[in-house]
């Protein structure tokens, strides 16, 4: 374990070391207290808030209930003393301020709940009463077990279990008439409206298409289903590449679709290039969030700036984007249009659809106003004439 992070603690009067597992790259806690079913939610919450992790040695299901009780304490609105009413002309928080405050709250919540730790044997078995068998789920996420015991947060273990179930059951994609099976760490295509746009937009050609940032391979598969003879999907993430290849084979499109490791564009040119980049220009708090958050819009700008050089004459680049960033004050429509123009591109057409995910109708969501106004668009881009 010389090249892997470890967690150190004292138990029964002796020092113990185990491999530390964190998908988000969280640093191992410096302080660890071994607890069992006798610990109360208030005690656990206070320890976690103070930076002390709780290594659970009791009943697994009780550990889950403990974390749920801690979550209720995290989500409880803070008690504030009564203040004088604010002046009528006091400015309301901006959408961007509300977004950043929400992200900070999410990160704080994840930090506190991530302090409940679960031990894992060398074969990924959980040595706690009433613990589920997570060995297959752990192997899918982390690879074959080694000879070392390890520790992970209960929150991460629950994420592994959920991802394993999604991978087994799949996500129904109406536009495909089939299901996509996302892997752990690969973003699930749960937003169906953007796939609806790709399924309905007129194809400029059916000979060849590039799917930039293929993820699960869902867009590549959809293009193949629409009759594109050859589709090349690209990604840099090893899990995404393996996931996409498995999905393409499962769907029977492996002769039409090739998945390659490439930074944005593959070699050559194509008459159709599709990209569904992360929609929000913000820092990701965990690896899987890279499908949602794109710091400084790096992938978006990379796609736009490289598109003209990879389009065949008369070809189209399809940019699939939500305008949520605009409603949150993170990026303006004018900025996006200036990037398009600066890359030597022109907007040929735009197809829009309203967001229909559950959060768009949740009035209790902190970002409800922005989500309610959200529109997803397929921008059809061409090379601007010289």
Task: Using alpha carbons, select from 95, 3, 84 the residue that is nearest to residue 323.
Answer: 95
Compute the average pLDDT of residues 175-194: 92
Same domain, 51 and 17: yes
User: Is the residue at 96 inside a domain?
Assistant: yes
pLDDT above 90 for 379: yes
Same domain, 58 and 99: yes
Same domain, 17 and 151: yes
pLDDT above 90 for 192: no
Same domain, 160 and 180: no
Same domain, 199 and 295: yes
Where among 127, 146, 165 does a domain terminate?
165
User: Is the residue at 312 inside a domain?
Assistant: yes
Same domain, 206 and 339: yes
The pLDDT confidence band at residue 89, using thresholds 50, 70 and 90, is: low
Detail the DSSP E strand segments found in the chain.
6-11, 14-21, 31-35, 52-56, 116-120, 150-153, 171-173, 178-180, 209-212, 231-235, 257-261, 270-275, 311-322, 345-354, 375-383
Compute the average pLDDT of residues 221-242: 97
Q: What is the per-residue pLDDT across 3-23, written as a single tens digit (0 to 9) for each?
A: 789 999 999 999 999 999 998
User: Is the residue at 365 inside a domain?
Assistant: yes
Q: pTM of the entire structure? A: 0.90
Q: What is the per-residue pLDDT across 267-290, written as a single tens digit (0 to 9) for each?
A: 999 999 999 999 898 888 777 787
Task: Using alpha carbons, select from 265, 191, 208, 256 the residue that is nearest to residue 235.
Answer: 265
Q: What is the per-residue pLDDT across 312-362, written as a single tens digit (0 to 9) for each?
A: 999 999 999 999 999 999 999 999 999 999 999 999 999 999 877 766 667
pLDDT above 60 for 1: no
Where among 165, 185, 209 does a domain terminate?
165
Same domain, 281 and 359: yes
Q: Are 221 and 171 in contact (CB under 8 A)?
A: no
pLDDT score recorded for residue 13: 94
pLDDT above 80 for 368: no
Comparing 273 with 101, the larger pLDDT belongs to 273
Same domain, 228 and 293: yes
pLDDT score recorded for residue 156: 95
Same domain, 189 and 161: no
H-helix or E-strand spanning residue 249: helix 238-251
pLDDT above 70 for 82: no
Compute how many other C-beta atoms are within 10 angstroms of the C-beta atom of residue 125.
16
pLDDT score recorded for residue 363: 74
Name the token pair of 140.
């899918």
Task: Please give the tally of structural domains in the chain.
Answer: 2
User: Is the residue at 240 inside a domain?
Assistant: yes
Q: Are 254 and 263 in contact (CB under 8 A)?
A: no
What is the rounded radius of gyration, in angstroms, for the C-alpha atoms of the chain? 24
Where among 165, 183, 199 does a domain terminate?
165
Compute how many other C-beta atoms are within 10 angstroms of the C-beta atom of residue 246.
17
Q: What is the per-residue pLDDT across 150-182, written as a single tens digit (0 to 9) for each?
A: 999 999 999 999 999 999 999 999 999 999 999
User: Is the residue at 111 inside a domain?
Assistant: yes
CA distance 47 to 374: 40
Lowest-confidence segment of 112-126, 249-263, 290-304, 309-323 by average pLDDT? 290-304
The pLDDT confidence band at residue 261, using thresholds 50, 70 and 90, is: very high
Domain that holds residue 121: 6-80+87-165
User: Is the residue at 1 inside a domain?
Assistant: no
Question: Look-up: residue for tokens 């393996």?
Answer: 242
Question: Considering Cα of 201, then 204, then 208, then 211, what sign does the dihedral take?
Answer: negative
304: domain CATH number is: 3.40.50.150
User: Is the residue at 333 inside a domain?
Assistant: yes
Same domain, 250 and 329: yes
Same domain, 95 and 203: no
pLDDT above 80 for 208: yes
Compute the average pLDDT of residues 192-205: 94
Same domain, 181 and 50: no
pLDDT above 80 for 149: yes
Residues near 337 by beta carbon (within 8 Å), at least 6 away in sequence: 347
User: Is the residue at 303 inside a domain?
Assistant: yes
Q: Rounded to whole angstroms, what are the CA distances from 81 to 50, 78, 170, 314?
A: 24, 10, 49, 64
pLDDT score recorded for residue 90: 56
Mean confidence (pLDDT) of the chain: 92
Comparing 190 with 168, the larger pLDDT belongs to 168
């Amino acid at each position: 374990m010389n090249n892997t992070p470890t967690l150190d603690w004292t138990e029964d009067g002796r020092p113990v070391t185990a491999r530390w597992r964190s998908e988000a790259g969280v640093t191992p806690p410096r302080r660890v207290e071994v607890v069992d079913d006798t610990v109360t939610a208030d005690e656990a919450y206070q320890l976690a808030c103070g930076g002390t992790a709780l290594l659970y040695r009791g009943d697994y299901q009780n550990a889950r209930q403990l974390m749920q009780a801690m979550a209720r304490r995290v989500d409880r609105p803070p008690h504030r003393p009564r203040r004088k009413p604010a002046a009528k002309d006091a400015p309301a928080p901006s959408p961007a301020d509300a977004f950043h405050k929400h992200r900070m709250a999410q990160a704080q919540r994840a930090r506190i709940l991530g302090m409940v730790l679960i031990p894992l044997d060398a074969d990924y078995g959980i040595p706690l009463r009433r613990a589920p068998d997570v060995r297959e789920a752990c192997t899918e996420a982390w690879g074959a077990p080694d000879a070392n015991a390890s520790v992970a947060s209960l929150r991460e273990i629950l994420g592994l279990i959920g991802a394993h179930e999604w991978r087994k059951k799949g996500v129904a994609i109406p536009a495909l008439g089939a299901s996509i099976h996302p892997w752990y760490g690969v973003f699930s295509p749960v937003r169906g409206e953007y796939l609806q746009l790709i399924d309905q937009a007129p194809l400029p050609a059916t000979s060849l298409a590039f799917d930039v940032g293929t993820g699960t391979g869902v867009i590549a598969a959809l293009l193949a289903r629409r009759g594109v003879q050859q589709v090349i999907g690209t990604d840099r993430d090893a899990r995404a590449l393996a996931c996409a290849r498995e999905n393409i084979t499962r769907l029977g499109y492996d002769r039409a679709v090739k998945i390659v490791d490439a930074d944005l564009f593959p070699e050559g040119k194509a008459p159709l290039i599709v990209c569904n980049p992360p929609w929000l220009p913000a820092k990701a708090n965990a690896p899987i969030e890279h499908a949602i958050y794109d710091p400084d819009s790096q992938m978006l700008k990379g796609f736009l700036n490289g598109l003209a050089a990879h389009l065949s004459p008369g070809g189209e680049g399809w940019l699939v984007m939500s305008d949520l960033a605009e409603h949150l004050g993170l990026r303006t429509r004018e900025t996006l249009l200036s990037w398009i123009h600066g890359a030597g591109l022109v907007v040929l057409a735009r197809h829009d659809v309203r967001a229909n995910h559950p959060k768009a109708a949740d009035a209790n969501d902190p970002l409800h106003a922005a989500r309610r106004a959200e529109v997803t668009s397929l921008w059809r881009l061409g090379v601007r004439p010289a």
